[in-house]
Amino acid sequence: MKSRHFGTDGIRGLVGSEPMTAAFAMRLAGAAARVLTPDGGTVLVGKDTRLSGYLFESALEAGFVAAGVNVKLVGPLPTPGIAHLVTRLRCDFGVVISASHNPYQDNGIKFFDRHGSKLPDAIEDAIEEELLRDPVTRPSEQLGRAQHVGDRRVIYQEFVKSTMPDGVDLRGLKLVVDCANGAAYKVAPSVLADLGADVIPIGCSPNGRNINDGCGSTDPGLLKLTVTGVRADVGVALDGDGDRLVMVDHLGRTVDGDQLLYLLAAYERAAGRLPGPVVGTLMSNMGLEVALRDLGIAFHRAAVGDRYVLQMLNELGGTLGGETSGHLLCLDKTTTGDGLIAALQVLAVMKQTGRRLAELTAGLKRFPQTLLNVRVVKTFDSGSHPRVAARVAEVEGALAGRGRVLLRNSGTEPVVRVMVEGEDAELVKRHAEAIAEAVEAASREAL
């Protein structure tokens, strides 16, 4: 079944427009309850710091209570915190109200099962089917109850700290942490300070509208300036719901998810603790694949989205994976992507080796990349056209395993995205242009 509402990370959109309305949220709560806990149960609901979080929190509460589900409201907490507390509080499932790294005008709703894992496609499809049915309010004696359980934040903080290796703390490190004025604004500075770091917090003053606004993992400019300005050892940037991580080295340079994945994989491999392959996505830089190959570490690519990285890790027996954007999965520590836990693992490597972040990531040389958007006729399929296939094969032969070609049809407009990576920037540009010309010519033939 083709999903009508769920994307790669729950349901998301502009507040006030379908599907992000109070009426839809109430219907969604009822539909999810009928699928996930048809005989009644308990749901844990958390949110980030968006002003609209109050609206959707109330709407979901009403929908769940009407469906006979008890509701525990935990307030602002990182998405991975909800994933952890679902299991600790023995809830039947969890809900997070957040649009992650999007601006405050957007919001979203995502689910976790009783084990703290994101829902598989089949369960999301079942919820979609239930949304087609009329909502049902149970008799008064079968209605659910709601309660606020905001003090549970400390449980999550203690869990995060427990993922540090035994005997390792952060004393002697001067850190700047940017919480994007989002859900981690209390948790992250507290955890880092408790572990002994000298912490300088920025992006920790949410007002409902400033989430991800000129701060956080998607806009680390202020973090870079602050790190160099105060001569910090490292900067940590989370996104609005705390599941993404980008870091900044002491020179003020951004360190992305690919670089952090390389650092962790290299350290774990050297320590003999890296089971299975490392998993990235179709968008992971080719330089990561080559650097890991040089270390004897197998690398696999999943579809874009951390849920697909998780699925492949489970299938292949791996524990470490992630995306360039900073969704990092450390499955030996937790069940889902957690920006703060990932940051602690990187900081632990720095402490255990006595090396700076810049030195630890120096072994990864990111390949130059050219991305071109080619407009095509609406029904054109670039992957099946012989002219395009021949040109792609020619380019791949020239790259000789030290580069990569990716063609993707846009899901929202008649565009084919042509991406080429390789070691020579000028050559990569020429290869991408050659493939783009082949796509344009093939599209004209399809008219």
Residues designated catalytic: 100
What is the C-alpha to C-alpha distance for residues 80 and 94, in angstroms, rounded to an integer? 11
Distance of CA 293 to the CA centre of its chain: 25
Strands 369-375 and 415-421: antiparallel
Q: In what order do the strands lie in the sheet with 234-238?
A: 198-202, 174-178, 234-238, 245-248, 254-255
Query: Tokens 């956080």 belong to which residue?
Result: 216
The owner of tokens 């899901």 is 411
How far apart are alpha carbons 284 and 257 in whole angstroms? 9
Tell me if residue 421 falls in helix, strand or coil: strand
Interacting residues of 361 by C-beta distance below 8 A, sequence separation 6+: 249, 255, 259, 260, 262, 263
DSSP element (H, E) containing 236: strand 234-238
Nearest to 117 by CA among 76, 145, 152, 82: 82
Q: Calculate the alpha carbon distances from 196 to 161, 190, 247 in Å.
A: 11, 10, 19
Order of all β-strands in the sheet with 41-47: 11-14, 106-113, 93-97, 41-47, 69-76, 146-148
C-alpha dihedral (161, 162, 165, 167), degrees to nearest 10: 80
Q: What one-character DSSP code corresponds to residue 382?
A: G
Question: Do 241 and 100 touch, CB atoms closer than 8 A?
Answer: yes
Bridge partners of 111, per DSSP, are 95
Q: Please say whether the dihedral angle defined by the alpha carbons of residues 176, 335, 19 and 144, taken in this order, is positive or negative.
A: negative
- How is 109-176 classified by DSSP, letter by letter? EEEEETTS-BPPHHHHHHHHHHHTSPP----GGG---EEE-GGGHHHHHHHHHHTSPTT---TT-EEE
